[in-house]
Amino acid sequence: MKNYTRSNIKNIALAGHAGSGKTSLAEALLYRCGATDRLGKVADGNTVSDYTADEIKRKCSVYTSLLSFETAGAKLGLEEYKINMLDTPGLFDYASGMTEGIAASDCTIITVSGRSGVKVGTHKAYECAEALGKPKMFVVTKLDDDNANFNNVLTQLKSEFGPTVCPVVVPVIADRKIVSYVNLIEMKAYKYDGKGTAVETNMPTAEIAANMEYRIDGLVAAVSEAVAETDEELLEKFILGEPFTQKELIDGIHKGMKSGVITPVTCVSAATMEGVDMLLKELTLLVPNQSDDDTVEAIANDDIVEVKCNASQPLCAFVFKTVADPFVGKMSFIKVLSGKMTAGMDIVNATTGSTEKVGKLMTLVGKKQIDVSEAVSGDIVVAAKMNVNTNDTICAPEKVVALEKVEFPKPCYNMAVKAKKQGDEAKIASAMARLLEEDMTITYTLDNATNEMILSTLGGLHLDSIAGRLKDTFGVEVVTAVPKISYRETIRKKVKVQGRHKKQSGGHGQYGDVWIEFEPCVSDDLVFEERIFGGAVPKNYFPAVEKGLQECVKKGLLAGFPVVGLKAILVDGSYHPVDSSEMAFKIAASLAFKEGIPQADPVLLEPIGALNVCVPDENTGDMMGELNKRRGRVLGMNPAEKKGLTEIVAEVPMSEMTDFVLLLRQMTQGRGYFTFEKLRYEQLPSHLVAGVIARYAAENNA
């Protein structure tokens, strides 16, 4: 692959709803440009971008893949470009891939199926690109499908995404079949043979498709109006009724995409290669790339500074993705924003402050690795075996700045994980440490209350993929289970009891006698006091009494859960000058605990969490009903930040939230989202106590 300057490099993310044709489109673009010698199919598991065992098995994208290729510009009669295409997953469980891909791109292509139209994933991709300030383009795919309808999809795009939607390539349909494609910028029509080769043909007339001339004229006027809004001179020309030149249209759309006022729409059939060559033209002519005038904000010495995006500046690059490769080692996907990165150069990790040398550099076409010597401003490169992580900023030593970190979705599906084979715990911990570097949407923590390792992901599929990676890549198998709920025990009334330990065994005996008052209090830990008068119990035995109680509260008498909200007051007792010992008083305290707690009206406490869930307005009633079923208390409703959504604020027992993420996704088709944080403990309803005690007794005996 040749060396390219910044102006001839395009970084493009493919995003959209699952099944909308992203991977098939990437395959068609690679084949059209000669980067591959065959047209792979997702169903056959032989595409360039979906190459992992998990992706081949699932027949969908699970990870973001980098596809670097040259546009074969000479064949298209265009300037040569290098395109770094990032094929991102569409399933919601793998949203981290979409986020990292869009964050590294200069433009986001959002695929929309010509058969099924705009879906939730379409909106998610659009919103992610909007949030990250990326230009967008819609590509209507699968036009070879008998049920595809481009006009319906275009109408849907306009109604749901507003007046910025601007078609630039449209199909000519006659008798429900596509007879040609019209490029509204060139004002030329093309038809395709069976091999996907374009041949210029006549513009459509009324004989070919009824009212098509009117439709074309209307679409051209819409394009011209959109372009006119990008520049005052063009607006004046539009008002005077003068037609725009092809260059003015291209420049206007290019400028409009960069400012966010134009979202072009084109169309293809990846299976038949129809429209792929025109899409390549639009990618090279319309899609913005990084320019010398671009700047990004960064932080240097707690001050906000601007980094100029050109090759003459010191190196500033951003790590947007990390892969734990079992053969190559750690692979860091890096977007170079300014300067030039070369293998072996000294760099500073602005995030950690550490210094190191740049490792081996390469570019990727799926799993195929191509060694490169350097990466210039505006390029994407992969570095091997560097000690950097996702969201790190790499800088030249003479100018150290830190770029803003990308915010990833928060994991919300929790499962307990343990080794299938005893003794593999250390291997799992080591493997998870590497996966945590790779995937920013998982957490792996120890629940101190239950002593379980909790793996948090974005959903069931995400969890299955993590388990598959552990087995296939790291050679360890895990089993998952619903996490235990960390219940607590407490008392509701005050009691006074005696604990007396007396034992004679030939020599020195054992004697300890205490009277202890147990009463409720507000504390997570045991509160111990002594009110001894007259030396009934010597002071040197007080710590032993407290220690005995501290050991007892770790495991309550109802179901073996820790005891909280307990105050113990040592009020009286007796001792023997020879037989008394610390151990005797420790045992006496535990006997008092076992005697007193059952008399103090013990109850179980369950953890309650604060829930903020956003659902579409039409699902508000269903969600309120569901929360009531889960013993939740709705505290209020507010309009959400996103249009068409309502935020419900509630408090819900944590035991009722195990499958909530799956229910929410099903109820809202993936549009809903939530946060849930542990809040406090409340008394478990009496009719549920027996079930909890029986369940945990069975688990402890298993």
- Percent of the chain scoring above 70 in pLDDT: 97
- Whether residue 477 sits in one domain with residue 383: no
pLDDT tens digits, 342-353: 999 999 999 999
Alpha-carbon gap, residue 54 to 50, rounded angstroms:
9
What residues have CB less than 8 Å from 585, skipping those under 6 apart?
A: 501, 512, 514, 537, 541, 544, 545, 548, 575
Last residue within a domain, chosen from 345, 377, 403: 403
Q: Looking at the structure, tell me whether residues 79 and 13 fall in a common domain.
A: yes
Q: Domain span at residue 55?
A: 6-203+260-285
Is residue 683 assigned to a domain? yes
The answer to whether the CB of 23 falls within 8 A of the CB of 50 is: yes
CA atoms lying within 13 Å on the CB side of residue 313: 22
pLDDT at 633: 95
pLDDT of residue 208: 60
The answer to whether residues 66 and 188 belong to one domain is: yes
pLDDT band per the 50, 70, 90 thresholds, residue 74: very low
| CATH code of the domain containing 376 | 2.40.30.10
In the chain the first and final C-alpha atoms are separated, in Å, by 61
- In this structure, are 354 and 458 located in the same domain? no
* 79 occurs within a structural domain: yes
For residues 186 and 94, membership in a common domain is answered with yes
Residue 449, judged by CB atoms within 10 A of its CB (0-12, 13-18, 19+), counts as: middle
Whether 349 is in a domain gets the answer yes
Note the pLDDT tens digit of each residue in 360-382: 999 999 999 999 999 999 999 99
Residue 244 within any structural domain of the chain:
no
Across-strand partners of 413? Answer: 457
CATH number at residue 669: 3.30.70.240
- 224: in domain: no
pTM: 0.88
In this structure, the answer to whether residues 15 and 101 fall within a common structural domain is yes
In a domain, 212, yes or no: no
**Residues in CB range of 562: below 8 A, 6 or more apart:** 449, 488, 489, 553, 554, 555, 556
Residue 30 contacts residue 67 (beta carbons within 8 Å): yes
Q: Domain boundary residue among 285, 319, 345?
A: 285
Element housing 323 (H / E): strand 316-325
| 309 and 444 together in one domain | no
278 and 321 fall within a common domain: no
How is residue 685 written in tokens? Answer: 């309803």
158: domain CATH number? 3.40.50.300
Strand spans (E) along 408-560? 413-419, 443-447, 452-457, 478-481, 488-491, 495-503, 510-520, 527-530
pLDDT of 418 above 50: yes
- 221 within domain boundaries: no
Q: pLDDT band at 506, cuts 50/70/90?
A: low
Half-sphere exposure at residue 658, Cβ-oriented, CA atoms within 13 angstroms = 10
14 with 47, same domain: the answer is: yes
* Lowest-confidence segment of 257-261, 424-428, 436-440, 698-702 by average pLDDT: 698-702
- Considering the domain architecture, whether residues 596 and 672 belong to the same structural domain is answered as no
Predicted confidence (pLDDT) at residue 683 exceeds the cutoff of 90:
yes
Mean pLDDT value across residues 169-178: 85
- Confidence tier at 13 by pLDDT (50, 70, 90): very high
Distance, CA of 21 to CA of 582 (rounded, Å)? 74
In this structure, are residues 20 and 90 in contact, taking their beta carbons and an 8 Å threshold? yes
Element (H, E) at 339: none
Question: SS3 of 297, please?
Answer: strand
pLDDT at 197: 86
Query: Residue 443 is part of a domain; what is its CATH number?
Result: 3.30.70.870
| 146-175: average pLDDT | 90
Answer yes or no: are the C-beta atoms of 582 and 464 closer than 8 Å: no
- The strand pair at 566-574 and 527-530 is best described as parallel
26-41 as b/e: b if 16+ CB within 10 A: bbbbbbbbebbeebbe
Instruction: Assess whether pLDDT exceeds 90 at residue 63.
Output: yes
Domain boundary pick from 285, 319, 351: 285
How much is the pLDDT for 207?
Answer: 62
Count: domains in the chain: 5
Do 346 and 441 belong together in one domain? Answer: no
The mean per-residue pLDDT over the stretch 625-650 comes to 93
Distances (CA, A) of 201 to 177, 182, 274, 504: 16, 10, 14, 111
Mean pLDDT, rounded, for 38-57:
92
Q: Is the pLDDT at 415 greater than 80, yes or no?
A: yes
Is 222 part of any domain? Answer: no
Confidence of residue 76 (pLDDT cuts 50, 70, 90): low
Residues 589 and 611 reside in one and the same domain: no
Q: How confident is the prediction for the chain on average, in pLDDT?
A: 91
